[in-house]
Structure 1
Amino acid sequence: MNSSPVRPAAVLWDLDGTLIDSEPYWIAAEKELASRFGVEWTDQDGLQLVGNPLTVSARVLQEHGVDMSVKDIIEYLLRRVTDDVRAHTPWQQDARELLDLVVSAGIPCALVTMSYSSLAKAAITRIPDAFAAVVTGDEVTHGKPHPESFLLAAERLGVPISDCVAIEDSPSGVAAAHASGAHTIAVRRLTPLTDARPGLSRVRSLHGIGLDELAEIAGGRMIDQLGSDN
C-alpha cells in the first residue's frame, strides 16, 4: 500500500493578484497619479508593472513623465491602494477558500509580497491569525524576481524552503518562488504566466486544489493545466 503524500511544511502566499484582486486598485492609482502630470497611462501600462518591486514601478512612472521622487510616488500609490483595501478587501475566492483550508489543517502560512507593510496589514487585518510570518517589499534588499523574500519567509517560519509550496500569479513572483527552491504553483490571473519549467505547476484557478494536491505538489508532482496556452 502506498503511503499518503507528506503535507508541505508551509505554504507561502503572494498577496496582490494571488490572494486579493487588488491589481485594479493599483492601476487606478497609477492612472490618477499620471493624470496629474498630463501623462497617459493605460491598463496595459499598469499590467506591465504587476509583481514588480514598488521602486521599479515608481521609476517606470518617472520615465513616463510623473515628476515626483521614487519615495513620493511609492507613498502616494500605497496610500491610495491601502485606503481602497481597508474600505473593501477584494479576496480572490479560490485563494481565500484554500487559505482557510490550509490554516484549518494547521499548516503554517507566510505572506510574501512586494507591497509594503502598511498594505499587508490592511489586507490581513480580518484574518490576523492566518499568517505565522509576513515578508514585505520594504523589508528586503532584492525584490522579486530575486528569491530573497521567499527564502526569508521560510527562515522566519523555521522550515526548509524545499519543503514549502509557494503560490504566485505574476511572472516575476513565479520566477522568485521557483528560484528559491519552493514547489511553486503559478495561478493564472491578469497577466500571462511564465513558460512551463521543471518543478512548476500552472493552473487556471485554485479551485480543485486542496490538501491532497498540495501534498502531492510538495512531493514533486507537477500540475500543468495551461500547456502551450499561458
Structure 2
Amino acid sequence: MPASDRTSPTFRGQTYAAFLFDMDGTLLDSSPVVERVWTAWAQRHGYEPADVLAVCQGLQYRDTLRRFAKPDFDIEAEAASLLQAELDDIEGVVAIAGVQDLIAGLDPARWAIVTSAPKALAAIRLRAAGLPIPDHFITGESVGNGKPNPEGFLKAAALLGVPIGDCLVFEDSPAGVAAGKAAGARVAIVGDLVPASEGDLAISDYR
C-alpha cells in the first residue's frame, strides 16, 4: 500500500506523515538501570557519577566513553561490559504513561523507533515495559553516526517512505532533540531534561 494511502497519525490536533520515537526516556523509563550501571562504572574508574550521568543520556556507549577515556582505556571492551550489565538488569523498566494506548492506535507503517541502544538491549527493554517491537527499528548498529547526528532519523523516514519534514520526533535528551532538529523534523520533547522552548511541543507523558 502506498504511504499516501495509509492512516496518518495525529497528535495535539496536528497530522503528521509518521511518528519517530526515541526509546529510553521517551517510550519507556529505564533511568533506574542507567543510573545503577553508569554509577558503578564511574566509581570503578574514579569519576564523579553525577558528571557521567549528566552526559550519557541519548548517546551510544562509545560516544560517552570517549568523553571520559583514560589513555589505557579499551573502549570496545568497556562498551561490551556496559552492554552486558544493562542486558542483565531490567528492574524498574516501565512504559511512559499513556504510550501503550498511543502506539496501539498507530498504523505499523507510520511509526518507527530510533534509539542509540543496541538492538538486543532495545528489544529486552521494550518487552520488559510491555511495548511492541516495531516493524521499523533503527538501533545503534544501524547507523555510522549516533545522536546528535541526524542519520538515524533520516534513515527511519526513508524506511517509512515519508519526508522527514513531515515527521514528528519524540525525544527526551539533548542529543536526541538536537538530532531531530538537525534532521528537519518537528520535535516533541518528553520530560524535563531539555527546555520546552527547544522543541515544537513539550509533554510530560502521553496521557
TM-score range, shorter chain: 0.7 to 0.9
Contact 1:13 1:109 in 2 (8 A): yes
Tell me how far 1:152 sits from its aligned partner. 0.3
1:202 matched to which residue of 2?
Answer: 201
Distance 1:109-1:23 versus aligned 2 partners, 3 A rule: same
2:134 maps to which of 131, 134, 139 = 131
Distance 1:96-1:78 versus aligned 2 partners, 3 A rule: farther
2:162 maps to which of 159, 164, 172 = 159
TM-score (norm: length of structure 1): 0.73
1:34 maps to which of 31, 34, 42 = 42
What pairs with 1:208-223 in structure 2 (closer than 5 Å)?
A: 208=207
User: Distance in 1 between the 2:43 and 2:169 partners?
Assistant: 36
Structure 1 unmatched runs, 5+: 209-230
Where is the strand percentage greater, Structure 1 or Structure 2? Answer: 2
What pairs with 1:1-230 in structure 2 (closer than 5 Å)?
A: 7-37=15-45, 39-63=46-70, 68-85=73-90, 89-101=93-105, 103=106, 108-125=110-127, 126-128=130-132, 131-189=134-192, 191=193, 193-194=194-195, 196=197, 200-208=199-207
Contact 1:26 1:77 in 2 (8 A): no
Please give the root-mean-square deviation of Cα atoms over the aligned residues, in Å: 2.6
Q: How much identity, in percent, do the aligned residues show?
A: 30
Tell me how far 1:6 sits from its aligned partner. 6.7
User: Distance in 1 between the 2:42 and 2:52 partners?
Assistant: 11
Tell me how far 1:127 sits from its aligned partner. 3.7
Structure 2 unmatched runs, 5+: 1-9
* CA displacement 1:1-56 (0-9 Å, x = unmatched): xxx9673221110011111111331221122123334x143234312221123211
**Count of aligned pairs between the two proteins:** 194
